[in-house]
Amino acid sequence: MKLLDRVLAKKLPDDLTLPVFEAGSKATRAASADVLSALASQVPELWGGSADLAGSNNTTMKGEPSFLPADRTTDEWPGGPYGRTLHFGVREHGMGGIVNGINVGGLSRAYGGTFFVFADYMRPPVRLAALSHVPSIFVWTHDSIGVGEDGPTHQPIEHLAAYRAIPGLAIVRPSDANETAIAWREILKLTDQPAGLILTRQNTRVVDRTSGEFASAEGLAKGAYVLKEASAAPQVILIGTGSEVEVALDAQTALEAEGVPTRVVSMPCQEWFDAQPEAYRNEVLPPEVTARVSVEAGIAQGWAKYVGCKGRSVSIEHYGASGKGTVLFKEFGLTSDAVVAAAKESLEA
């Protein structure tokens, strides 16, 4: 298919190739940077940038010059009128409006990035994108208390719940690098829905999906999937998003050691999961398994529909603090021990 025909059809290349990440440890924002650079040559209609945080958001496609007037380029800022790197300045609200305008008015696809805590500055254009069915892409990094020493002003707490509350907006919070790659592909497939891609500052575990122990990251396309199955019929289900999926996996190991068959579900996008057929939703979250625990570094609002009346949520219901992210997770109870304790409570409920 010729480029113009493909773009007019709002389709991705049939031979689109995404990075595959080996087991290890990598921040999802860093994985996103690798994915964007891989997409650059394959999806030439894609362009975007950040609200003066490109170095932290990792929103610059490698080697792509800046979008600048020809007479404003410099050795430090090479570019021109056909550059693909946008510099929005310190103005999230304006960035959101610009991204929406590009995605409404032309054949190209634009994205804009900032810290997740600053997404509140751009809530009106995000809401307008959802209301208008505009497939804008918002890249929101530094997604939790894992930000660390910047302190509570920079640590999202209520934001996941607040943005999930916007009808028509997909909030996608991948757990590792390979989920991040699939997330970009699925978001680019959207033609009438905006998406917020929620990414970590800190490294997260990249699970080994080649051994058969963990399911393929392709499951992200359905919003939630069984990442790691229980040793027998599950007695408890642990549901995590983003960096907390690793916490759920550690809790699973502890519960299985105590003889409690435990399933781990990765749920990167509630909206996409809710759109799946009931049969699939019941396959992932069997109604008969009422012992459930959600774990997410944000408020618990919105999780009751998945954990049910006997379930529990391991969350953070207050603002953060300045300190190392690893210390804050421990101090605020976002640990595998807390998930194990919550699972036992749920089993006894």
CATH number, domain of 141, equals 3.40.50.970
- The verdict on residue 19 lying in a domain is yes
Q: Which of 204, 228, 259 is the last residue of a domain?
A: 204
Strand order in the sheet with 292-295: 225-228, 262-266, 236-240, 292-295, 312-314
- Joined together, the tokens standing for residue 342 give 């919550």
Pairing type for strands 85-87 and 46-50 reads parallel
**Residue 236 shares a structural domain with residue 332:** yes
- The verdict on residue 211 lying in a domain is no
Type of residue at 140? W
Q: Which of 156, 178, 204 is the last residue of a domain?
A: 204
Please write the tens of the pLDDT for every residue from 36-67: 999 999 999 999 999 999 999 999 999 999 99
The domain spanning residue 320 has which CATH number?
3.40.50.920
**Residue 223 shares a structural domain with residue 200:** no
Task: Report the b/e string of 87-110 with b at 16+ CB within 10 A.
Answer: bbeeebbbbbbbbbebbeeeeebb
- The verdict on residue 295 lying in a domain is yes
Nearest Cα residue to 8 out of 48, 39, 45, 47 = 45
Q: Which of 204, 234, 265 is the last residue of a domain?
A: 204
Q: Alpha helices of 45-122 — where are they, by DSSP H?
A: 54-57, 92-105
The number of domains in the chain is 2
Considering the candidates 92, 179, 244, 246, report the single residue annotated as catalytic.
Answer: 92
Let me know if 229 is a catalytic residue: no
Domain that holds residue 149: 3-204
**Residue 336 shares a structural domain with residue 249:** yes
**Residue 175 shares a structural domain with residue 244:** no
**Residue 199 shares a structural domain with residue 245:** no
Pairing type for strands 170-172 and 236-240 reads unpaired
CA neighbours closer than 13 Å in the CB half-sphere of residue 124: 8
Q: What is the pTM of this model?
A: 0.97
**Residue 180 shares a structural domain with residue 249:** no
Which pLDDT tens digits describe the chain residue by residue (349 residues)? 699 999 999 999 999 999 999 999 999 999 999 999 999 999 999 999 999 999 999 999 999 999 999 898 888 889 999 999 999 999 999 999 999 999 998 899 999 999 999 999 999 999 999 999 999 999 999 999 999 999 999 999 999 999 999 999 999 999 999 999 999 999 999 999 999 999 999 999 999 999 899 999 999 999 999 999 999 999 999 999 999 999 999 999 999 999 999 999 999 999 999 999 999 999 999 999 999 999 999 999 999 999 999 999 999 999 999 999 999 999 999 999 999 999 999 999 9
Residues 6+ apart with CB under 8 A from 161: 298, 299, 301, 302
